[in-house]
Chains A and B, each alone.
Chain A
């Protein structure tokens, strides 16, 4: 059972749980207990599983460690502290050593200076990660530390070390730090299984303590920590810091003001904040945005290098570390970051946070703003500066929700079969398993609580090599599986080594080399994910110059110079964050409520400047939102324009469908405000049904606020309606499967899944397999597997990952259900030119194409197009 606790214990009650010596030391060091500590001392002393959410700087780490240190100190005083692991601390961050020194070793050193403890055995701390040298590991084996600090991956290796696992026999506590970073990823799925296997190996349970930043829903996060069927108490101290935040529009009119003027005004606002405060932290959503901002602040206002710095993932570890140190010293006036300073590391005192453009999620907005304020007692101050009207409405609703503690939920991968495959091999290496016994153990891990027996057996068969002929199984099989006795175990001499050297869930990414076409001249690198989005003729910037994309092979990309042309693919294209579903729905509701305040019956509308004619009702409604007066005018104008233009404002209960044309192309725009992940799934379903019906391919544009289908010829209203009705009764998973079958994203995700599922090895017989090689192999493998068996576990997982983790097929079916039952309406209108709400959508260019299902028909069509084109060219030359 999950219990959320709101009532704190008194300081007295908490301190009572400490040994007098530890208490004396604690009271002498700290003037009071911080909010999470007001719960944790008592609860951990009662050996409760505990999830603590609290902002950074609120003594979160110590809130978990002090009760454990207390317990160990008592053992030490009694002379009962032995060389054995009592506490395991797991963090996903690699830069553990620094943090842990500060958080743990220095308080411990301090504690042992107390005279009462002199001569007693010190609590020992050890760090074990991939970087730990061999001699250090040996030392840990001989004299295991009382507190072992590690990563999820190193834990998985220790689990399979028959001798080292014995050192965990007396384990009492496991701390999982940065839980929010793990719960939403496959690293977390991996860890959840490791913890169950650990408890099984040492034959007893342990106290689980999770530390997390703001996260929602808490029950789910707690279940992730505790596993199925265990109790867990949740302490939500994430609201202990007050927040003050507003949305700022740099100008009154975001449409008719020149870009340069908006920019001038934005920089002026930023500079004012920087000047007024000691340290300002600015978030942009992308690395390139970060660089641009730093450059411009220095150029415009003459800041020196030592006053303003950038901090993002592309910088070297040393560079980032030095910026962090400067922050802690308080010597920087301003630091600009993409996402890297959002969480984790303590960065000293920030007075004010500025966010440029929408951070796309309520939780993220709060986490970012929460980085300001010196201690948990201060108020966090933040400002969201936007420069387009969709972002404006988005951020307004975001802050409104956030200040009311309404958060968006995290997504947890459900039953990731590739991760499970890895663990099954690990389990088989240890002993012979009964299928049901293993199945029960696996389902204790929360991400696998609903694991289907069929899927589990499918994995066992795959790992046993049953997909290849008998003779080949000795090479392919990593386990043996006897379906009559229902048992499985390890197979092959190499399997143990393969397991050790290929453990983990983080995929190798390919750096694509960019060359000038027909030369060997290398210009630079781009990310694979960026290449995925490029199509022939696209213009983009690399290293400050402009290039036109021509073609690509597995690891190379070829371009031509395109000096003076305007890039149509922004460099942050692949970094874009998707809008969360919950926030999207709330924006829809905002639009609905807001537009209901207008009187649209008036036929003689006199177009006045919004500031002058804002009705009282609208003013009142807007007054409850945390926005400045410029923003109010912009929001009002934006929604008013749409309303006057289309008479209808799309909302959470109405998907407005707009048939229109632009640049001689036909668009069917679906104003479906449900976030890009949902729209990605929905749009493919509609495009597929329409493409199938008309026997032609359909272009596709997708963003957070809607999507557009681009057929070659215009469709009538009835055809659109028929497609929607059909979508409501179709198996949309099947449609999307068909749809992504031959795409780059499936190839890439399949490679990742195949590497996690030990089908493509990253390390083999002492060699590292180059990622380019992995990629070519993955393509061959995918071709064979998809012809062999559509339900092959690893392929199934690649589809699941795309449909559930990248897209959001579950909420997409929910929307279709809403349409079917009439809860969501879909009025269809025709416009001569695109309506205001569709402008951001139309200007981004095509995202994808849904092509004709039947390959034969498709190639024939292609043939016809090519012949027409050639004839046309020849006629022109005559």
Chain B
């Protein structure tokens, strides 16, 4: 789904293509989640990395992008760079190399100790943001420090939930897209991790949202929720209209 002349939301995937940068962007893959769960007693087989590789592969082919930007929370554990995280990150880097994709990591709040991989791999790691050609790409846990035309963030893991009169409900990962107070554009990416189902934006009060972008820099109610379905994205309209809706 093309949302303007620069940006494509790839159908059915939590992936953005930024045309002027010839880059695909994903956010919040949280690699190493399964390893962490296993160390806590739940044996979840590793599947997340395979899924992430799959969407990167598909979207790099369909767009012809030459670079992948991951805008934060590449890994899951705050307190350490765990062995299983290092392993999965290494595998992802090699995979991107094999596809001929350059790699840029922007650090998120989970990415402590990520710099340690620099000794092994030749990757760009940005502490706070990437700002190129008017696109400001950051994790979204801290306020922007530069002026730009277009802001891309992750961190919030947005999703939308729709309740039915019949009692069922459907929860979908969603992109949030619209204007900030300063008239610049904002795009919030859903989490790439298959394990992160997300925060139901239309059920959450503004003050309870995680990202200062959504709390202080825009009216989240005016953003459009573009939900990810199977093989396609559907624009469900403004968040405001999705609050307290039963169909």
Contacts and interface: CB of A to CB of B under 8 A. Distances in A.
Interface of A: 467-469, 472, 475-476, 518, 535-537, 551, 697, 699, 759-765, 767, 769, 773-774, 777-781, 783-785, 787-788, 846, 848-849, 851, 855-856, 858-860, 862-863, 865-870, 873
B245 A869 contact: yes
B47 A784 contact: yes
Interface string B212-247: 000000000000000101111010110001100111
Across chains A and B, which 10 residue pairs bring their CB atoms closest together, nearest first? A535-B167, A764-B41, A761-B41, A777-B42, A849-B166, A865-B247, A859-B229, A856-B230, A870-B241, A468-B45
A848 B234 CA distance: 26
A536 B162 CA distance: 11
A575 B129 CA distance: 55
B147 interface: no
13 contacts: A472-B46, A476-B43, A536-B169, A551-B203, A760-B43, A764-B41, A777-B40, A787-B47, A859-B227, A860-B229, A862-B247, A863-B234, A866-B242
Nearest to A780: B195
B229 A788 contact: no
A466 B234 CA distance: 39
Contacts of B234: 859-860, 863
B58 interface: no
Given A760-B42, A846-B167, 17 more contacts: A476-B38, A536-B163, A551-B163, A778-B42, A779-B197, A780-B42, A780-B44, A784-B194, A849-B167, A849-B168, A856-B229, A856-B232, A858-B170, A859-B234, A860-B229, A866-B242, A866-B245
Given A849-B168, A862-B170, A760 B41 contact: yes
Residue of B169, B172, B230 contacting most chain A CB atoms (<10 Å) = B230
Interface in B147-193: 161-164, 166-170, 172
Contacts of B241: 870, 873
A675 to B, nearest CB: 23
Contact of A476 (B45, B166, B227): B45
B37 interface: yes
B40 A764 contact: yes
A679 B131 CA distance: 61
Contacts of A535: 163, 166-168
Nearest to B87: A471
A846 B166 contact: yes
Nearest to B47: A784
A788 B33 CA distance: 17
Nearest to A761: B41
A47 B114 CA distance: 70
Contacts of B167: 535-536, 846, 848-849
A532 to B, nearest CB: 11
A863 B236 contact: yes
A769 B45 contact: no
Nearest to A475: B38
A862 B41 contact: no
Interface of B: 33, 37-38, 40-47, 161-164, 166-170, 172, 194-195, 197, 203, 205, 227, 229-232, 234, 236-237, 241-242, 245-247
Nearest to B247: A865
Which of B42, B195, B242 has the most C-beta atoms of chain A within 10 angstroms of its own C-beta? B42
A855 B230 contact: yes
A699 B166 contact: yes
A475 B169 CA distance: 36
A272 to B, nearest CB: 44
A699 B166 CA distance: 6
Given A856-B232, A858-B170, A866 B37 contact: no
Given A536-B163, A849-B164, A781 B44 contact: yes
B168 A851 contact: yes
Q: Which of B43, B229, B245 has the most CB of A within 10 A?
A: B43
A856 B229 CA distance: 6
B41 A788 contact: no
A867 B236 CA distance: 7
Given A846-B167, A849-B164, A859 B230 contact: yes
A868 B236 CA distance: 11
B42 A774 contact: yes
B23 to A, nearest CB: 28
Given A518-B205, A788-B47, A859-B234, A869 B40 contact: no
Nearest to B37: A777
A335 to B, nearest CB: 38
A774 B47 CA distance: 19
Contacts of A788: 45, 47
Nearest to B231: A856
Contacts of A783: 194-195
B24 to A, nearest CB: 23
A760 B37 CA distance: 10
B1 to A, nearest CB: 13
Given A849-B164, A866-B237, A873-B241, A855 B42 contact: no
A777 B168 contact: no
A855 B203 contact: no
Contacts of B203: 551
Contact of A769 (B41, B46, B205, B247): B41
A537 B246 CA distance: 10
Given A475-B43, A777-B37, A781-B42, A867 B172 contact: no
A860 B235 CA distance: 10
A472 B38 CA distance: 10
B172 A859 contact: yes
A783 B51 CA distance: 13
A284 B169 CA distance: 35
Contacts of B245: 866, 869-870
A765 B41 CA distance: 8
Given A475-B38, A476-B38, A699-B166, A870 B237 contact: yes
A866 B168 CA distance: 15
B46 A761 contact: no
B53 to A, nearest CB: 14
B162 A862 contact: yes
A849 B247 CA distance: 14
B184 to A, nearest CB: 26
Contacts of B232: 856
Contact of A866 (B45, B194, B230, B236): B236
A858 B227 CA distance: 13
Contacts of A469: 46
A855 B227 CA distance: 13
Given A536-B167, A846-B166, A769 B40 contact: yes
B145 to A, nearest CB: 33
Contacts of A859: 170, 172, 227, 229-230, 234
A209 to B, nearest CB: 39
A46 to B, nearest CB: 50
Contact of B46 (A468, A858, A863, A865): A468
A159 B40 CA distance: 27
Contacts of A849: 164, 166-168
A805 B2 CA distance: 50
Nearest to A762: B41
A761 B42 contact: yes
B187 to A, nearest CB: 20
Nearest to A758: B43
A761 B37 CA distance: 11
Nearest to A536: B163
B237 A777 contact: no
A340 B173 CA distance: 46
Contacts of A868: 247
A105 B195 CA distance: 56
A552 to B, nearest CB: 10
B165 to A, nearest CB: 8
Contacts of A769: 40-42
Max chain B Cβ within 10 angstroms of own Cβ: one of A764, A783, A866, A867: A866
Given A475-B38, A537-B246, A870-B241, A784 B229 contact: no
Contacts of B205: 518
A783 to B, nearest CB: 7
